[in-house]
Structure 1
Amino acid sequence: MAFTPTPLSQQDLRWKNQQLGFDNTITIGADGCALACLAMLVNGYGFTETPATLNAKLTAMGSGVGFVGGMIVWGALTRAFPGIVYRSINLWTDQPASLTGIDAALAAGKPVVVQVDRSPSAGLQNHWVLLYARQGTDYLLLDPWPNPPDSLPVTLSGRYGFGRSAAQVITAAVWYDAAGTSPAAPPADGLYVRVPYSLASGLNLRAAPATSASILATEKTGAYLRCLEPDAVALPKIGQQNQWLQVRDPANLTGYVAAWYVESTGTSTPATPATPSTPTTPATPTTPTTPTTPAAPALTVTVMQSVGSSGLRLRSQPDMTGNLLALEPAGAALTVVEAAEQALAKVGVQGKWLNVRDGRGLTGYVAAWFVQAGAAVPAAAQTVTVAAAVGPAGLRLREAPNASSNTLKILATGTTLTLLEPAAGKVGVNGQWLKVKEPGGATGYVAAWYVQ
């Protein structure tokens, strides 16, 4: 899919003053260079986004999914545009950049989002631009800073070189592939699953339901696979560790795929009207069987408070190179989707990873050394009280956990607040915030150093 350079400016008057992501202290005009680069990237593949519309789409995904504060979650672009597949990010803050990967991508017609040190002054003055072609030993770029956008070709060294090499100017690079626009819906002739775009290398179709079985084919990301098992058997397996699905691929090959690597498309086999038949003799009633023991509830783990405000990264594979799918806040309950006995042996162990599903239904992997077994104590069982230290001015219930966010309500001394998150290590501690519900039902955040 050919890329067509389409310039945009982050400082366009139509959106320059809009809040960037979830940080109400910054705007698209001042800090939206990465956002504008992503808008230019998707537009080069035929979309029609602006920094404002892309900002809205990523924000709508929720905090920690599209943005962390005002910082973009790079993998979120694939959620908004399934055909634009996030690959990886490289950082070179204290060494010259390696240009090999950048050159290879550009040679294949794929633009690269790069961070540049825009000034030779001491320290890093970071700015994001979009490289879209080589020009001799230099690079052509789309720069989101000028308004109106550049009307003539601009090179990296010409604008930001100041006598430095490209390897000295570039401090980070983000790679995406264009797999085409979102594929057409699968046929409505049965249950289909899809190979997710987060599986950059595709999914192996095997001759038997085991990782040791021979590989028949590697299914591309976005491919629809027809389930050959009854819906009632296949549906509970999707997304579950150590489960396998028998499927048929678009090339009519039949085999098995790991159910924990596919996603449901929501299409199931329409019921086929039954053909009337001659009544048969009623079957002899069977002897009632002993009721089966209910299945044990799924194991739940909780994100530890030690992750701080940064949260815990939910990744697409069990290592640090996996794509970032979401950020799970401290105290979040995660459902384990692998064998409980196997998972419990990993909890709290450095270097181990757990396959989990979060409250939004996202499935991925988290570092096991940052979770603890069991759900958080129900908030209804815990309360705190507004301390007298707030004085007659009362305590502010805020929209977000910071002193610059909007005030929702003023809470008087002695007001009892229901905790909506674990409070261990926070109550009475300066700089900490608690999510609470006040007696009138409003929810928000209060300064933890003013409650007891």
Structure 2
Amino acid sequence: MQDPDEDQGYVAAWYLAFEKEDAVAKEVEKTTIPADTFDTFTVFGTADGLAMRSAPSMVGGLLKRLPLYAELTSLEPSSTGREKVADTSAWLHVQDAEGDQGYVAAWYLTFSKEEDEAKVAATQTDKNLIVRPITSGLAFRSEAVVAADTLIKRLPAGASLVVLEPVVSAKKKIGVKGQWLNVREVSGGEGYVAAWYVTLGNEPALGVREDDKSAKATPDDDLVVRTTVDGLAMRRYPRIAAQTLIKRLPKAAELVALTEDAEERIGVSGQWIRVRDIEGDVGYVAAWYVVRR
């Protein structure tokens, strides 16, 4: 087979399914949850976009895709269902929070969301301090000086910026009038922004200013997308597997799309987009979990 990067090789055929299967998914006969609720148990999906299928196999019709850590109730007895969890050859019959029923790959399930989050914590990076503008059209300048010849571009509200200064001293500047921060934006450009118009990336600002008086953001030269869920996986290859995980991205993380036809893929289930994040890491993300900035 050949992947989107034109690399060729062999893959296990039992992990493949036809791309058009979405259109032929069959309804699953509804199963009644046992009246004795002590015989049921809860599991959580450990993959974003986990497939719920009409039959317990890779060729079972695709009913829907589930978000990361979707809570699922087993429709199988605890005595037999529990031993399937994390088994790489088993499928579990489940019901999600919306009442939809189907089969999911048991090797993408866990009993404890917290335990799984701890396992992937090592893959999450916190290499840089990220800040975001609290106003639309924030000036991105070549020097820490307000002048016509220092303006590089204007940034949209919420744009991700990596601070290029020591974290401790940079945090003291945030929100302080007269202070400037040396930053890098997602497309790779470096410059300065007014520290009193930014907030920490993991602490969204209340009352973001965007009115008729706000300057307009400069149109992006690159196609920049934002994640719509927390914990979206960036993967080495466009497939869901434990060994392909590079890192997990927070909600609203900004990414430069590198795939040529990325515009057409945005929001489309089953499609992947090759991207570069603010820290320079490159990988694939599920196109159905991103929107254009």
Q: If the length of structure 1 is used for normalisation, what is the TM-score? A: 0.19
Pair member with larger Rg:
1
TM-score, normalising length: structure 2: 0.29
Structure with the larger RCO, 1 or 2 (CA within 8 Å, 6+ apart): 2
